[in-house]
Amino acid sequence: MGGKVYALTDITADPLTLSLKVRPPHGDELRAAHDAIASGYHLNKRHWIPVTLDGSVPDPLLSDLLEGSYALVTAGLTRARRAELGLSADQK
């Protein structure tokens, strides 16, 4: 999406882990509240969280995290690039 990444996974991992971008203070809160959310290993630990998909993170929260990661990444795109991707100004 626009040459940027908002979610990463290794489909061969067991259990499956999904790395998502977050704002640093939110990442700290999430890590404190959920055992399945840790600091990123190969990614910037302040901005990325790996979420182990073991069923302990509620689906609505997981959905919010995925949408939030997408929003953070698209906000960093230029206005022209967002327009090329068909994103409106309020989707940044």
pLDDT score for 78: 87
Higher pLDDT, 25 or 87: 25
pTM of the model: 0.84
CB 53 within 8 A of CB 46: no
> Can you name the residues that pair with 21 across neighbouring β-strands?
48
Q: Give me the chain's average pLDDT, please.
A: 89
Contacts for 1 with CB less than 8 Å, ≥ 6 apart: 70, 73, 74, 85
Task: Give the pLDDT confidence of 23-50 residue by residue, as tens digits.
Answer: 989 999 999 999 999 887 778 888 999 9
Contacts for 26 with CB less than 8 Å, ≥ 6 apart: 68
User: Region 7-29: what's the mean pLDDT?
Assistant: 92
Report domain extents, the chain.
7-91
Given CATH 3.90.1150.30, say whether it is the number of domain 7-91.
yes
